[in-house]
Amino acid sequence: MAQDDNMAGMNHDMGHMDHMKMDHDTGDMAGMDHMHHMGNFKQKFWVSLVAAIPVFVLSPFMGLHLPFQFTFPGSDWVVLILASFLFFWGGQPFFSGARSELKAKNPAMMTLITMGIGVAYIYSLYAFIGNNFLHTAHIMDFFWELASLIVIMLLGHWIEMSATMSAGNALEKMAALLPGEAHVLTPDGQTQDVALADLKQGQTVLIQAGEKIPADGDVISGSSAVNEALVTGESKAVKKENGARVIGGSVNGNGTLTVRVTGTGETGYLAQVGKLVSQAQAEKSRAETMADRVAKWLFYAALSVGIVAFFVWLAVADMNVALNRLVTVLVIACPHALGLAIPLVVARSTSLAATNGLLIRDRRAIESVKQLDTVLMDKTGTLTEGVFKVNAVQSFDDAMSEDQVLTVFAQLEANSSHPLATGILDEAKARQINAPAASDVQTVQGVGLTGKIDGQDYAVVTAKYLRSQNVAFDADGFAQLAAAGNSISYLVSGQHVLGLVAQGDQIKPESAAFISALHQLNIQPVMLTGDNEPAAQAVAAQLGDITVHAELRPEDKEKIVREYQSKGHHVMMVGDGINDAPSLARADIGVAIGAGTDVAIDSADVILVKSNPKDILSFLNLAKATNRKMTENLWWGAGYNIIAIPLAAGVLAGVGFVLSPAVGAIVMSMSTVIVAINAMTLHMRD
């Protein structure tokens, strides 16, 4: 049949979902290489906080004894022991991260944190030895500041991991859609309950009325209406009969189905969706790379400024003051807020997207929205319902009736899942036409299909193909049917047109409002379709101001994407079928409507679980809000360091102001809290 807007079926195999939990329990999530392998931040935070409280009580704050502080003989030893525990145990995650960064010759966040707490501990140890054994002039230590820095940073990373894990929780919710066991049919016709993890490809399972479907598979007997709302977001029950595919996680209706499992493990539909979310977390966006680059230069800047300040203060004061300034610069350069600036926002954004049916496969797509000015869209299934109804069947051969023409169409389309094929098969069923499938059926990309019936060759093609092959047909009749918005498929044998089937599709109720909203955002909508020009223009007339490119083959769509890009446009491509794959991969942002298709897994940057074009607006709004929060947090994070480092070095010492490590730590913690709160205020906007 005419493959004008080819849609891929949800044909992924379904297996057990244990792997979808990734390695959350061990804290090892892809994409957070320098953080998630470093232990349980929650546990480290609470233990470190308990150890830090005595330090806060027994250790002076910048040499001052606060009202709640006291000392007793040997209290300085207690402080040293607890501070050492905090440094070596609480600081271990930062040491591991710094080691990885330095090994890669790319000092960044963890290196700065390690430098800050390392300098604070070593200087405090020097002060302890000097005060207790060398009996020199009293040297101020930084145990209080060390404890507060470690506790604050552990708290921040716990918050970050909690935010990041929220997108992972969405995976666990999807995994929970599946039942714990499956009823496997044994060779003697009995059923045996098997754990989902042990379900194997090729096994046959029995699904009772009201049960969750345990795996992707093919129905081999039975009939039922299956609710796929929990999986695809579509509320309409889908009738499943012999030969139909079912998706693991959907809910069976009143009938009983016997299903052959078509796959296990990572090939399942929900597993593929889970992989998309985990891949999203594994991707590093350009903004994160920029934050890491800023941290690297901040490391070098802090080290340079600290060394210069040391020698300057050594010249104008003494060693104790010079060391104090060096320590102050290195301690307060700790980039906690900067380190959290981007990950917290992206984690929050990914979580919001996942829980609202937007699966972001490549987070760089979020940043590309800033330059977006053109949205190219497939027609069928994106702007229209993709549910075709036969409006006309015509015969051009005196030896064939309309029902005979429809019969041949149905035989050729018997095994196709294309929407146009579905419309033909539904019409044949309504007319009580039941004929065996044709043999040697082959799809001709962008043209239609061919097959044999009773030894005779037939083809289903488009009007464009007939014109290109100079095959005579009723052009006036075609124009009349196409002008009414019909997609028209011709039945051909040799050079003779035997008949046609004209089918109409319905525009989605929200499509016109979606096109209008794009114009309000100064984004030009463009419709790409393999359908005939009159039918495409009829749809466009109902949508409003939209550019139309019709009668396209898959390579034509990809070429048009390149043409727009060559003219300086930043392009989003929206599609839902195999023939959209080249253009989805080529576009600056590829968006697949209808999760679970091959193209969604292989080509798109963003997957819309619900087949609702308005969700594209939700993505655009979320991406813009995410970019705004990224910029705000980068300024909060980097701004603190830009101001604090020179102040800590003593550039205002001439007017009597020198920033202490304690004040620097307080300001740093405030900056961190602001960054975290700012990230968590990101929300979806209707």
**CA dist., res. 256 & res. 258, Å (int):** 7
Query: Is 378 marked active-site?
Result: yes
Residue type (1 letter), 521: L
DSSP string, 214-226: -S-EEEEEE-EEE
Q: Under a CB-based contact definition with an 8 Å cutoff, are residues 338 and 294 in contact?
A: yes
Token code pair at residue 530 = 């393999």
**CA dist., res. 445 & res. 6, Å (int):** 9
User: Strands 439-444 and 448-453, how do they pair?
Assistant: antiparallel
The arrangement of strands across the sheet holding 589-593 comes to 358-360, 606-608, 589-593, 571-575, 374-378, 524-528, 547-549
Tokens 């501990």 label which residue?
121
Environment class of residue 595 by beta-carbon count within 10 Å: exposed (0-12), middle (13-18) or buried (19+)?
A: buried
Query: Element (H or E) spanning 173, and its range?
Result: helix 143-175
Q: Under a CB-based contact definition with an 8 Å cutoff, are residues 132 and 76 in contact?
A: yes
DSSP string, 322-377: HHHHHHHHHHHT--HHHHHHHHHHHHHHHHHHHHTTEEES-THHHHHGGG--EEEE
Token code pair at residue 387 = 């549910």
Residue 255: CB partners within 8 Å, gap ≥ 6?
Answer: 209, 222, 223, 224, 225
Report the SS3 class of residue 611.
Answer: coil
Please report which residue ranges of 567-613 form alpha helices under DSSP H. Answer: 581-586, 598-602
What phi and psi, each to the nearest 5 degrees, are found at residue 223?
-150, 135
Strands (E), 57-170: none
Tokens 């360091």 label which residue?
641
Residue 91 pairs with which residues in a beta bridge?
A: none
Other beta carbons within 10 angstroms of residue 392's beta carbon come to 16
Q: Under a CB-based contact definition with an 8 Å cutoff, are residues 578 and 604 in contact?
A: no
Token code pair at residue 168 = 């992972």
* Annotated catalytic residue, options 216, 378, 580, 588: 378
The residues annotated as belonging to the active site are: 378
